[in-house]
């Protein structure tokens, strides 16, 4: 966005555009009104990363138009909770878009961000939690973070967790993803001094209430340093971990 403003002012200085044209561009900068969406084109200035598109509930045409609007000023854009059919439609309009099927994320990554120093460690209780973990992985990586993963180390076989104690010590921040009873973040929080971001998933039998049971377990954790994001919110966990790592 800063580069866009610089180019705009330089073009005016060189008399390539008029003052009225400059004013019109500046008027559009805070957000661009598409009628069905007001695209936040200033978010990159405030957050150092542009608005991310949440795909559920939107039509394919709306998603494509929002992505194209964001790409006018931003080289890197994410679209979360996207299925393969949606990606195929997006890819026809934006050929350099890629799809991470496990994460259900569409990525346009035209400019790699500088690599941060610290590592984000992402752990799942079970294999069924991997799709949400992969959403966190893709998000953290596009934001310039080194990421390590360790899957299927839940409390039903807690001895598996002890084999990665060195990783828990070395990481800057740990994301722990679990469904069912959601107990794993408390154990991890008790083993490490690093910040732990707990992510409840909707995976589990009926009494897990599609993620509400692990959500409540995580919110009632007795381990210090554990915070919780919403059910299935791998993106939110990856983004917040990146803020800590920054």
Domains of the chain: 31-109 (no CATH), 120-245 (3.40.50.1970)
pTM of the full structure: 0.85
Task: Give residue-wise pLDDT tens across range 111-151.
Answer: 888 888 899 999 999 999 999 999 999 999 999 999 999 99
Longest pairwise C-alpha distance within the chain: 69
For residue 33 the two structure tokens come to: 């009104």
Residue keyed to tokens 């878009």: 97
For residue 173 the two structure tokens come to: 């921040």
For 31, 122, 137, 139, 195, the CA distances from 143, given in Å and listed in that order, are: 22, 15, 10, 6, 18
For 50, 66, 169, 199, 232, the CA distances from 195, given in Å and listed in that order, are: 25, 34, 11, 13, 19
Task: Give residue-wise pLDDT tens across range 178-192.
Answer: 999 999 999 999 999
Task: Give residue-wise pLDDT tens across range 68-108.
Answer: 999 988 889 999 999 999 999 999 999 999 999 999 999 99
Cα 240 from chain centroid (whole Å): 8
Residue keyed to tokens 């971990």: 241
């Amino acid at each position: 966005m800063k580069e866009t403003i610089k180019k705009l002012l330089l073009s005016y200085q060189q008399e390539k555009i008029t003052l009225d044209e400059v004013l019109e561009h500046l008027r559009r900068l805070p957000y661009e009104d598409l009628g069905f969406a007001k695209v936040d084109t200033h978010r990159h200035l405030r957050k150092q990363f542009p608005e991310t598109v949440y795909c559920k509930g939107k039509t394919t045409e709306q998603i494509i138009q929002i992505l194209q609007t964001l790409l006018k000023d931003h080289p890197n854009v994410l679209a979360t909770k996207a299925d393969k059919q949606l990606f195929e439609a997006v890819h026809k309009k934006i050929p350099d878009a890629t799809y991470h099927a496990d994460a259900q994320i569409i990525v346009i990554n035209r400019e790699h961000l500088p690599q941060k120093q610290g590592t984000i460690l992402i752990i799942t209780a079970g294999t069924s939690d991997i799709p949400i973990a992969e959403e966190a992985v893709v998000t953290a990586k596009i934001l310039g973070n080194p990421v390590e993963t360790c899957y299927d180390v839940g409390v039903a076989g807690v001895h598996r967790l002890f084999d990665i104690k060195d990783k828990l010590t070395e990481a800057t921040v740990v994301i722990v993803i679990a469904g069912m009873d959601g107990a794993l973040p408390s154990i991890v929080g008790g083993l490490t001094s690093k910040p732990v971001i707990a992510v409840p998933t909707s995976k589990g039998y009926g009494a897990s209430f599609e993620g509400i049971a692990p959500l409540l377990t995580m919110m009632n954790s007795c381990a210090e340093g554990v915070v919780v994001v919403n059910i299935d919110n791998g993106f939110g966990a990856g983004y917040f971990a990146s803020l800590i790592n920054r």
